[in-house]
Each structure stands twice: as structure tokens, then as C-alpha cells.
Structure 1
Amino acid sequence: MYDQYQAIIFDMDGTLIDSGQLHEVAWTETLNKFAIPIDRPLMRSLAGVPTKGTIEILLKHFDCKVEASLDVMNDFKEAVVREKINDYVKPTALLQLAERYYGKKPMSVGTGAYTDEAKSIIEQCQISYLIDHVVGADLVAAPKPAPDTFLRCAELMGVAPEHCVVFEDAKLGLEAARRAGMAAVDVLDVLGIENDYFL
């Protein structure tokens, strides 16, 4: 049903990759270490926001004073992700769609995660061969809900935005896809894929 599009873009966490529990565990350890409160609905609403951006929002929301820098807290979370990655990540049902279009359409991942972390997760799931490009939050001026991530994916694939379809699980990501002028598929509504993240 997606034959009309020339290229496919996947969000990673909660969309192409079932990694909700990985990030929930990593965030829980990080927030506990730096004495930042955990508000589960707030954390879920921030799905897709890069780590440093999430921390900034949390510090402002809870009016927290933390001595550690954003870089230190970000590095701590990324270290937990690396340590736990083997225990939690696996592809979602979207793997079947990616396999169906492999070699027929270019496919990219556009994620709020940082590029190196995203590539590690994709490699861990043994699906790197399906993905032509990975664009993380560190490769664009403005992360989701800005359209930059998905526009960069389209540019790398050499396909006009209006000919791309984006698969997303987060409201911010769906907004980013629409702002990029791309078709947006809510994977929960359309495919029943739910991100198991701070539910």
C-alpha cells in the first residue's frame, strides 16, 4: 500500500526498533543518579526529543539545580544505553515492510537519538543492510518537531519530500513529517505498534 512513494523514512525508537524499555531503564538510572524527578506521562510526552533537550525541559519543569553539566548527564545516559543494549532492543513488525521494499526503494532512519547511538542500535538488531542513511539529532540544526531531520533524509536519498513517506510513533515526529511536506503514518493507529516507554 506504499508503492506510490519513492522513498521510506523510519523513526527509530518505538517505530522501527522496539527500544522503549531500553530508554526507560537508561532514563530511570540517569534521573535517579542526578536527583531529577521522574514524571512518567511527561517523559512519554517527550519521546523523540534528544537527550540534552529532554534534560533541559525536565530541569525547568521541576525547577531543579543540578551541578552536573548537560554533557555529563548525556554521557551517563548513553553509557547506560550501551551497557544495556543487548538486553532490550529488537525490530518491530515494520521489519517486514522494510524487507519488502529492500532494493526497491531507498530507506533512511530519521531519529531524535544521536547518530552513533542509532547506528549501534540498528547494528545490534542486524538490520543495517536495509538502511541507506541514518540521520540523528546531532546532524541537523533543529531536531523534531522541526522538519530538518526528515528533510535531510530526503536530501541524502535524492528524493523530493513530497515523494517520501514517514513512519512515526511520536506526536513530535508526526508533526515534523507533516512540516517536511511528507506523508506521515502513525504506526500505533495504522499498524498497532506501541512504544513500550513510560506507559
Structure 2
Amino acid sequence: MLSPLAPRDADGLLFDWDGTLVDSQSANYRAMTEALAPLGVTLERAWFDARTGLSSAEMIGALTEEGGLDLPVPVREIVARRDEHFLRQAHRIRAHPAVLEVVRTWHGRLPMAVASGGSRAVISRTMRHLPYASLFSTVVTREDVERGKPAPDIFLLAAHRLGIAPDRCAVYEDSDEGVAAALAAGMTVIDVRPHTGR
């Protein structure tokens, strides 16, 4: 029987990072909470969980806009602190077994890319502790594009780097923003949430 995560008719596979390839939701929440706490900002877990497809900077922007907050430091400084907190626990991050199996099954058969709203430095340093390090042809992050998810830019650039037409790509995602971005790019979407416990 064909796995529900099998890509079926695709020429290339694009994978979101946080929540899709890796189980990092709690670590990301803790890191963002620790970065915001010195500023007197409380981050509700439910609010955070509902916006996991946003980059850290975009999430902070949404938080300040919705809460009418005036932060005393630039967003980039808060993001840098968040990344520092996260990297202290990067060695504890684990791969999602079901998605890891897809990557291992199709490695060498179809070109694959990481396409994430996360930071390149955080992804590359975390990847060292995981079995993904040599399995992807390219990694595209929020720094590589003008607009993050739900805009399609990250996925379109990943497809371009792989040399594959967008409509021939299958995207593995775990967030509403990521699904919207993949659909806006004209790609097939495989929602991993039923297979990763989210």
C-alpha cells in the first residue's frame, strides 16, 4: 500500500523545516518566550502555535501589531536573542520519523530541498545533530527572499534552484501559512500534521 506521505507524481520534493522535518515546536516556543520575557512581553502558547509558519521577525511583528506593543529594541535584536536561546538546545531537536523515512526513501531518486521560513544559521547548526545533513540539494530560508510564507517566494526559489517547474513539485508542510504558500506557488501539498502528532 502506498504511504499517505508518498509524493506520487512529482519531480522534486520541498520540505519545510520546523514542525515538518524536525520536532521543534516546543523548543521554538521556549526560545521566543525567553527572548521576549526581558521586554515584559508574555507569549501565549496557543497564539504561538497558530502562527508557526511565520518567520521569527514576522511573528514578532504580528505580536506587536495585534497587541499594540512598542518594543524598546529592534526586532532583529529580539530575533538574534531567540536564535541564541534556541541554539543552546539544538542538540535536543529530533527528526520526525515519518518525514525522515520519506527523505531517506527518495534521496537519490528525486531532488530535494529544504524551504523554510527559519534562519539559515539555525537550520544549518541544528542539522549537524540530525541525519539530514547530506540529503538535500539546497536549503532556502527566509533570508533568501523578500517575502516569507504565506507568500510563495520561498518555495518558488527552491524549485528554481532545483531546476524543476513549480507544478512538478510536492511540498511537505505543517502550517496553514506554509500550505497557503505552496498552493500559491502552484505546487502539490502534503500536510504532515496527521503523521507528526500535531
Taking structure 2 as the reference length, the TM-score comes to 0.92
Q: In the alignment, which residue of structure 1 is the partner of 2:26?
A: 21
In the alignment of these two chains, the number of paired residues is 192
Q: In the alignment, which residue of structure 1 is the partner of 2:158?
A: 153
**Tell me, what secondary structure is at the counterpart of 1:80?**
helix
Whether 2:45 is the aligned partner of 1:40: answer yes
Tell me the CA shift for residue 122 of structure 1: 1.9
Tell me the CA shift for residue 69 of structure 1: 1.2
Deviations 1:26-50 (A, max 9, x none): 0121121221121222211210211
- Distance in 2 (CA, whole Å) between partners of 1:108 and 1:119 is 13
Q: In the alignment, which residue of structure 1 is the partner of 2:114?
A: 109
Whether 2:196 is the aligned partner of 1:193: answer yes
Q: Is the 8 A contact 2:182 2:189 kept in 1?
A: yes
- Distance in 1 (CA, whole Å) between partners of 2:179 and 2:188 is 9
Q: Which runs of 5 or more residues in structure 1 are unaligned?
A: none
Q: In the alignment, which residue of structure 1 is the partner of 2:55?
A: 50
Q: Is the 8 A contact 1:110 1:153 kept in 2?
A: yes
Q: In the alignment, which residue of structure 2 is the partner of 1:98?
A: 103
- Distance in 1 (CA, whole Å) between partners of 2:43 and 2:100 is 32
Tell me the CA shift for residue 193 of structure 1: 1.2
Q: Is the 8 A contact 1:37 1:62 kept in 2?
A: no
- Distance in 2 (CA, whole Å) between partners of 1:188 and 1:53 is 22
Q: Is the 8 A contact 2:29 2:45 kept in 1?
A: no
Tell me the CA shift for residue 3 of structure 1: 4.0
Tell me the CA shift for residue 194 of structure 1: 3.1
Residue number among 6, 10, 17 corresponding to 1:12 in the alignment? 17
Taking structure 1 as the reference length, the TM-score comes to 0.92
Deviations 1:8-29 (A, max 9, x none): 0000111011111210110121
Residue number among 169, 187, 191 corresponding to 1:182 in the alignment? 187
- Distance in 1 (CA, whole Å) between partners of 2:73 and 2:61 is 12
Deviations 1:116-161 (A, max 9, x none): 2112222221311111111100101111000000000100000101
Deviations 1:38-91 (A, max 9, x none): 12222112102111111111112112222111121111101111111112x111
4+ residue segments displaced more than 3 Å: none
- Distance in 2 (CA, whole Å) between partners of 1:106 and 1:122 is 18
Q: In the alignment, which residue of structure 2 is the partner of 1:68?
A: 73
Q: Tell me which amino acid in the other structure corresponds to 1:108.
A: A
Q: Tell me the C-alpha RMSD between the 2 structures.
A: 1.2
Q: Tell me which amino acid in the other structure corresponds to 1:75.
A: A
Deviations 1:97-127 (A, max 9, x none): 1101111110001111012211222222131
Residue number among 47, 59, 64 corresponding to 2:64 in the alignment? 59
